[in-house]
Chains A and B, each alone.
Chain A
């Protein structure tokens, strides 16, 4: 109700109250006439409002339907509407929080006109969150002298099209052992590196340039250097998505996605392909082996880089190797000796661990990860995680990567590393660093 209708309602209430107190039918008659007018006006307004809504048609066109996050996109929306007098209508675009409006008009006021009229919004937006965004229709507000009404029109004729927002990568510093496109390995390769992996006696046919003269002079025998080999294998990117049931930092997730996108882009440009493994807790969700197409890779990141439901939870499970290490530690404590009470306690804990380890079964997730690693020819991996909640699965992944002789780099939010300085030791990875 607008001000005029509110005033009339107040007068009606006063008249009815006066009629009731004074038992005066003349006051009641006046109140009844006004009430008829107000209710009738409401019914007329409602009917005209529905006519206006049914006359609305929306046509929206985008400059492109697939953009990268942070780029600018022009949008043109044409709305056709019939606003009979004495109604006034205001149409505004319903824009998702995934985009920011740069400039242009997203609201239009339609003056009364019995003929259909067409209005056009032209504006520019900047997507700020990756993913699929659907233009969610329009908001139509209609008013006359007595009433105003608003409706959100987000059914199919008013919404769409879909905008695909690809994640954009940011610079990620390379690992310690990586060079621009290749790195040294402790194996013989056709292309030699700069490091020395071994020294051996000279055999006929060896390259004379590889003779280590200083060592040869010392031992009075010819020794040659064996250099490390160079390989050009892209790193495996493992993404640990947060569980949607636990609180996490949206900003940290956005930053993580940007870093992953940057690393994936760098890998495709430098090594011609990239492998991405998507997990969430102890759930292996998606594996994209040796993806060569950058667009397809970005589309995959756009689709998957969101919080997900977790089917399997580990509840801070300890794996078999950690328990074994604990048993070994307790046994060494018992052998060293000490106070009888402490020894008794250590023995009791050791027995408890031994009882647990006999019933402990390897989780299916560990087998899945091991099989995935076995199918790849990779010696380095980056694991990205927000480390919110249970992190036992991260240790399991690291263990399997170590078994597969991979160098493991863990990338966590800076706040997590700052709050847990011992993460480095706990995770036993080669490097534990914050996002770039």
Chain B
């Protein structure tokens, strides 16, 4: 599939998700979701030749993710996947099969986050869990990096 087709697929799924969830939940501010969807589409079109397009797509997609997440955690998750897909494709990160697999891994990794949010009543515990996990990953990575660099960085 071509890169443009990936974009259309992501936007189509995003539009179906937003419209579907808005209709299913019967939100009183249904027009806001449609405006945010149109905003994302507008940014998608307006920045089609910009260098940092991925970043602008993420910025435009975040309000949509939050709005969908306010209706349903799973709708917010799907919106997040689609926005991330558009941003990755804009940055050329879905060109090869390896990168598409990595995108799949990313989608899988966000599932536990959504689960934590879904089963939480308040934000404090999920924030602590996210901070601890992120800190642990970064710390382990730094130690690995230090060990690895020693192999190449021995002073002659």
Instruction: Give A85 Cβ to nearest chain B Cβ, in Å.
Output: 7
Most buried by B among A7, A16, A33, A134: A33
8 Å CB contact of B55 from A4, A16, A86, A156: A4
Instruction: Decide if the interface of chain A is mainly helix, strand, loop or mixed.
Output: helix
**Contact residues in B for A46 (Cβ distance below 8 Å):** 141, 145
Are B156 and A29 in contact, with the CB atoms below 8 A? no
Are A39 and B91 in contact, with the CB atoms below 8 A? no
At the interface, yes or no: A342 with Cβ under 8 Å from chain B? no
**Contact residues in A for B122 (Cβ distance below 8 Å):** 23
**Contact residues in A for B92 (Cβ distance below 8 Å):** 85-86
Are A151 and B127 in contact, with the CB atoms below 8 A? no
Nearest CB to that of B148 among chain A residues? A50
Are B153 and A30 in contact, with the CB atoms below 8 A? no
At the interface, yes or no: B120 with Cβ under 8 Å from chain A? yes
Instruction: Give B32 Cβ to nearest chain A Cβ, in Å.
Output: 13
Are B134 and A35 in contact, with the CB atoms below 8 A? yes
Are A29 and B154 in contact, with the CB atoms below 8 A? no
Alpha-carbon distance A130/B36, docked complex (angstroms) = 70
Are B141 and A32 in contact, with the CB atoms below 8 A? no
Say whether, besides A26-B69, A29-B65, A33-B77, A151 and B55 are in contact (CB < 8 Å).
Answer: no
Instruction: Give B86 Cβ to nearest chain A Cβ, in Å.
Output: 12
**Contact residues in A for B113 (Cβ distance below 8 Å):** 29, 32-33, 35-36
Taking CB atoms and an 8 Å cut-off, the chain A residues in 24-66 that contact chain B are 24-37, 39-40, 42-44, 46, 50, 53
At the interface, yes or no: B130 with Cβ under 8 Å from chain A? yes
At the interface, yes or no: A233 with Cβ under 8 Å from chain B? no
Instruction: Give A177 Cβ to nearest chain B Cβ, in Å.
Output: 48
Are B58 and A34 in contact, with the CB atoms below 8 A? yes
Give the size of the chain B interface in residues (CB under 8 angstroms). 52
Most buried by A among B52, B106, B116, B120: B106
At the interface, yes or no: B18 with Cβ under 8 Å from chain A? no
8 Å CB contact of A40 from B55, B106, B152, B153: B106
Nearest CB to that of B92 among chain A residues? A86
**Contact residues in A for B123 (Cβ distance below 8 Å):** 19-20, 23-25, 28
Q: Which residues of A contact B (CB under 8 A)?
A: 4, 7-8, 11, 15-16, 19-20, 23-37, 39-40, 42-44, 46, 50, 53, 85-86, 134, 136-137, 145, 151-156, 158-160
Say whether, besides A11-B62, A86-B93, A32 and B110 are in contact (CB < 8 Å).
Answer: yes
The 10 residue pairs across chains A and B that have the minimum distance between CB atoms: A26-B69, A32-B113, A33-B80, A26-B70, A29-B69, A30-B65, A29-B117, A159-B156, A19-B123, A36-B110
Are B156 and A30 in contact, with the CB atoms below 8 A? no
**Contact residues in A for B95 (Cβ distance below 8 Å):** 85
8 Å CB contact of B117 from A16, A32, A34, A153: A32
Are A151 and B156 in contact, with the CB atoms below 8 A? no
Alpha-carbon distance A37/B65, docked complex (angstroms) = 14
Alpha-carbon distance A317/B91, docked complex (angstroms) = 75
